[in-house]
Chain A
Amino acid sequence: MAISSEDVQHVARLARLELTDAEVELFRDQLSAVLERAQRIQQLPLADVPPTAHPVPLTNVWREDVVEPCEMGEPILANAPDRDGEFFRVPRILEDAE
């Protein structure tokens, strides 16, 4: 088994996913099968090969900083799960300052 149930639970926590015990087992087995196959590439002589993160050799793409009108305010707010006028209402992230 390439990864354990604990590994699955650990990455689920990092990724903010909630998994049932049955899902943990299922994903452990399925991801292990994928990783066991993919492990082949770690045996290849790639030590001196540089990485490619991106296929197009473009770097430092600049443009002029020109102000353009943006009429998206209301359509963006209309997608909010919860709003108050022109504000997004979001879950509280700070404790009361007592």
Chain B
Amino acid sequence: MPSTDLWRLSASELSTLLERREVKAAEVAESVIARIEQAEPELNAFISRTGDAAVRHGSRVDDDRANGAHLSPLAGIPIGIKDIICTKGIRTTAGSKILESYKPPYDATVWSDLRDERTLLVGKTNLDEFAMGSSCENSGYGPTRNPWDTSRVPGGSSGGSAAAVAAGMVPISIGTDTGGSIRQPASLCGVVGLKPTYGLVSRYGLVAFASSLDQAGPMTRSVRDAALVLKTISRYDPRDSTSIPGDRPDYLSGLGRPITGMRFGVIKELSGEGMQPGVVERFQQTLTTINRLGGSVEEVSVPSVTYGIDAYYVITPAEASSNLARYDGTRYGLRVEAPDVLATNRATREAGFGAEVKRRILLGTYVLSSGYYEAWYGTALKLRTQIVRDFEAAFGKVDLLVTPTTPTTAFAIGEKTADPLQMYLNDICTIPANLAGSCGVSIPCGLAAEDGLPVGFQIMGPALAEATMLRAAFALEAEIGFDGSKAMS
């Protein structure tokens, strides 16, 4: 393969070539940067780009390797990081104009761990402002477009991370998932996206949206790459008080083992009603694939699951309205000067926040306000318990739960912006895992017959079952043989 085509390879493939010293990390970085130059004008997957530094760091990786240093499998692999994850000295906007010139004074643990493994940061990827959205249209820096069809959205909120991976602009990226923000764009862009168990990966340095649900995770073109990245970013972090103590298993060692006898539960309430026929068809076909591989498939009822979206759109705005109170124009971020402090606060927030962020702050303030708190927020927290219990009961019967990741394939840009409720319904299958705190992954399972766009298959496991989930995803991926090359053409 000519070095100019290196951008087409997965992280695992690149890693092998780098370790054998058949290619140089600087060449890999240059190939990826050329691909970004080519595709970025149409896709707008990045808010900031750091290509020059990536090539420089790549050269140092090459020097160290030439000198016999033993390096991580991720050393010299280009990466994109969602622009809601703090990178010291590198602008981090969270997709918001209120943080347009913010340069974090510290690194998020997720990023410092990946940097210590010597991945090469090529840029910060686009997102819905403060990760609030399902289409990447709420970014303060213009929408990202879907590489399969540029008239469509890439999903969100990690739309830039998904599009960049799908289009070959990076082999791996990091997204964050509060209600589906990794899995939904992965589904719409035909890539792998994994939301870890809450507490598995450190939240230190993530710009907070809804703190009891936010998790960072990998977005990749293969299940093996997702496992490789997860291995690096999952650890106990004393800087995150919600980090789960203890060692993490090796997510790679189970890949390739058969799934014979594994029990898969189809969530009855989320198995097809009201969904696009081409999505349901591919989903059903994947269930047949599970059977062919020796796994069993049965229907499982999770009664509270369809109410997840209702609880979610009370709980997350509530947490967001509190978290975003810090943007007041005092210590960092935008300040719009006005005659007094209150007016300055208001003018700053009016100018700095987009419509969706304002909508969620208003909603959150309302459900937390005096007289409404118990009926809205209190009830939503009780429903959350019900979902946790229903998931526990379901995982008593089966090893893993499966659903289509999204009810439809990628929709048109502008199609749902006027109707927030329709936009929110996109996350109906992904939200329950966040509320329960369990893990989920979306893998591409084919193209929908009616529009030729990717369909995602979601696998969910109980808390800390990532290794089992990845083993199942790996077996299915091999059997499905999804071809994502159209997005890379």
Whole-angstrom distance between the alpha carbons of A15 and B383 in the complex?
A: 26
Say whether B102 faces chain A, with CB atoms less than 8 Å apart. yes
> What are the interface flags for A11-55 relative to B under an 8 Å C-beta threshold, 1 for contact and 0 otherwise?
110111111000100010011011101101110101001111111
B69 proximal to A (CB < 8 A): no
Instruction: For the complex formed, measure the closest distance between the CB of B97 and the CB atoms of chain A, giving whole angstroms.
Output: 14
Q: Is the interface of B mostly helix, strand, loop or mixed?
A: helix
Instruction: Report A-chain residues with C-beta under 8 Å of the C-beta of B376.
Output: 35, 38
Check B437–A55 contact: CB distance below 8 A.
yes
A47 vs B176: C-alpha distance in the bound complex, in angstroms? 33
Interface contact A46-B383, CB-CB below 8 Å? yes
| A interface residues, how many (CB within 8 angstroms) | 50
Q: B420 contacts A30, CB within 8 Å?
A: yes
Cβ A79 vs Cβ B102 within 8 A: yes
Contact present for B388 and A61 (CB under 8 Å): no
Give A95 Cβ to nearest chain B Cβ, in Å: 10
Asked if B437 and A30 make an inter-chain contact with CB atoms under 8 angstroms apart, the answer reads no
State the main secondary structure of chain A at its contact with B.
Answer: loop
Complex Cα distance, B363 from A33, in Å, reads 11
Q: A7-B366, A81-B332 are in contact. Are A75 and B379 (CB under 8 A)?
A: no
Whose C-beta in chain A lies nearest to the C-beta of B212?
A: A54
- Chain A residues with CB under 8 A of B362: 8, 11-12, 15, 17, 27, 31
Q: Which of B116-124, B283-291, B344-352, B472-480 binds A?
A: B344-352
For A58, list chain B residues within 8 Å (CB).
Answer: 199, 241-242, 244
Residues of chain B at interface, number, CB under 8 A: 69
Contact yes or no, A14 B359, CB < 8 A: no
Contact A16–B103 (Cβ < 8 Å): no
Give every chain A residue within 8 A of B340 (Cβ-Cβ).
Answer: 91-92
User: Which residue of chain A is the closest to B366 with respect to CB atoms?
Assistant: A11
A34 touches B421 (CB 8 A): yes
- Do residues A31 and B347 form an inter-chain contact, with CB atoms below 8 A? no
Contact B314 A38 (CB under 8 A): yes
Chain A residue with the shortest CB-CB distance to B240 = A61
Residues of chain B within 8 A of A44, CB atoms compared: 307, 379, 383, 386
Q: Given the complex, which residues of A lie within 8 Å of B310, measured CB to CB?
A: 37-38, 40-41
Instruction: Say yes or no: A41 contacts B311, CB within 8 Å.
Output: yes
**What is the minimal beta-carbon distance from A87 to any residue of chain B, in angstroms?**
11
Which residue, of B330, B366, B384, B385, has the highest number of chain A Cβ atoms within 10 A?
B366
The contact string, 1 if C-beta is below 8 Å from chain A, for chain B 345-387, is 1110110010000110111011001000001101111111110
Q: Which residues of A contact B335 (CB under 8 A)?
A: 81-82
Contacts of B212 in A (CB 8 A): 53-55
Q: Which residues does chain B contribute within 8 Å of A93, judged by CB atoms? A: 341
Q: Are A41 and B380 in contact (CB under 8 A)?
A: yes
The reply on A80 being an interface residue by CB < 8 A is: yes
Is A67 an interface position by the 8 A CB rule? Answer: no
Pick 20 A–B contacts, CB within 8 A, sort by A.
Answer: A15-B325, A15-B362, A30-B421, A33-B420, A34-B313, A34-B420, A35-B366, A35-B376, A37-B310, A40-B310, A41-B314, A51-B384, A52-B381, A53-B212, A55-B388, A56-B198, A58-B199, A72-B106, A79-B105, A91-B341
Query: Which residues of A come within 8 Å of B, CB atoms?
Result: 3, 7-8, 10-12, 14-19, 23, 27, 30-31, 33-35, 37-38, 40-42, 44, 46, 49-56, 58, 61, 63, 72, 75-76, 78-82, 88, 90-93
Given A18-B350, A40-B307, A40-B310, 12 other A-B residues pairs in contact with their CB atoms under 8 A: A16-B328, A17-B349, A18-B347, A37-B421, A41-B314, A49-B386, A52-B388, A76-B105, A76-B332, A79-B333, A81-B332, A90-B331
